[in-house]
A and B are shown apart, each in its own frame.
Chain A
Amino acid sequence: GESVGLHLPTLSVQEGDNSIINCAYSNSASDYFIWYKQESGKGPQFIIDIRSNMDKRQGQRVTVLLNKTVKHLSLQIAATQPGDSAVYFCAEVPTGGFKTIFGAGTRLFVKA
């Protein structure tokens, strides 16, 4: 079925290092991608988004890269902090925007 998957289910990084979380999506009929962060006991929260007509978008300490050729999305977190520890979901909104499709998530552990 439809899916947005992730290459790595868990990622452990040292505090201060950069983190890269990858995502492969299968539905090519999409024009919008979003990264969400889910901390323990909370619902997912919006981090950053990117439209399909872009290949890079930067936010505060985060950058999203989109490669439509290989249907790959990545989230880069600069100078990772303990507060970044969470599960990160990539999400895809197909053209028409009827629903957001979420991947399985990557758990990020930040070691102090």
Chain B
Amino acid sequence: EAGVTQSPTHLIKTRGQQATLRCSPISGHTSVYWYQQALGLGLQFLLWYDEGEERNRGNFPPRFSGRQFPNYSSELNVNALELEDSALYLCASSLASGSAGANVLTFGAGSRLTVL
């Protein structure tokens, strides 16, 4: 069974540009979460999607946005990139909210975004 897959693995952008990161959840998982992990730091919650809807959002500016597609894959967009957006962006998936095991997250390997 394929795990959570993320693309691209690495992405280099300059300030002011836009970045798009993609995530495919485990088959059968309908919830997708995005986390930002700055170098040497913990995971900061960004966004949670479930059944195509944004369910919760972390303390990030509106230039961080995303969506979930009918096949439950997801996209994270970061507009007007700033230097401090450089980080590893991790996507995780889980079973549907409310189901047994919904709290256990399965992570992808992440997309490393570097803003120059």
Q: Do residues B42 and A45 form an inter-chain contact, with CB atoms below 8 A? A: no
| B48 contact from A1, A44, A89, A98, Cβ within 8 A | A98
CB neighbors of B among A1-56 (8 A):
1, 32, 34, 36, 41-46, 49
Q: Is A93 an interface position by the 8 A CB rule? A: yes
Q: Is the CB of A97 within 8 A of B33?
A: no
Known A-B contacts A42-B109, A89-B43; the reply to A1 vs B103 at CB < 8 A is no
Closest to A42 in B: B109
In the complex, the answer to whether A32 meets B42 with C-beta atoms within 8 Å is no
Q: Are A46 and B105 in contact (CB under 8 A)?
A: yes
- Whether B48 pairs with A43 at a CB distance below 8 angstroms is no
B15 contacts chain A at the CB level, 8 A cutoff: no
Decide yes or no: A43 and B90 within 8 Å by CB, A97-B97, A98-B48 being known contacts: yes
CA distance A97 to B109 in the complex (A): 23
- Cβ of A44 and Cβ of B43 under 8 Å apart? yes
User: A101 contacts which chain B residues (CB < 8 A)?
Assistant: 45
Which one of B35, B43, B90 has the greatest number of beta carbons of chain A within 10 Å? Answer: B43
Which residues does chain B contribute within 8 Å of A67, judged by CB atoms?
Answer: none
Q: Are B33 and A100 in contact (CB under 8 A)?
A: yes
The reply to whether B42 and A102 contact each other, CB–CB distance below 8 Å, is yes
Question: Which residues of chain A are near B55, meaning CB under 8 Å?
Answer: 98
- What separation, in Å, do the CA atoms of A46 and B97 have in the docked complex? 18
B59 contact from A1, A41, A49, Cβ within 8 A:
A1
Q: How far is the CA of A44 from the CA of B43 in the complex (A)?
A: 10
Would you call A99 an interface residue if the criterion is a C-beta within 8 Å of the partner chain's C-beta atoms?
Answer: yes
A41 to B45, Cβ gap below 8 A?
A: no
Closest to A9 in B: B40
Return A105 CB to nearest CB of chain B, in Å.
5
Q: Are A102 and B43 in contact (CB under 8 A)?
A: yes
Distance in Å from the Cβ of B3 to the closest Cβ of chain A? Answer: 9
B:11-54 near A, CB below 8 Å: 33, 35, 41-45, 48
> Which residues of A are interface residues toward B (Cβ below 8 A)?
1, 32, 34, 36, 41-46, 49, 89, 93, 97-105
B interface, CB within 8 angstroms of A:
4, 33, 35, 41-45, 48, 55-56, 58-59, 90, 92, 97, 102-110
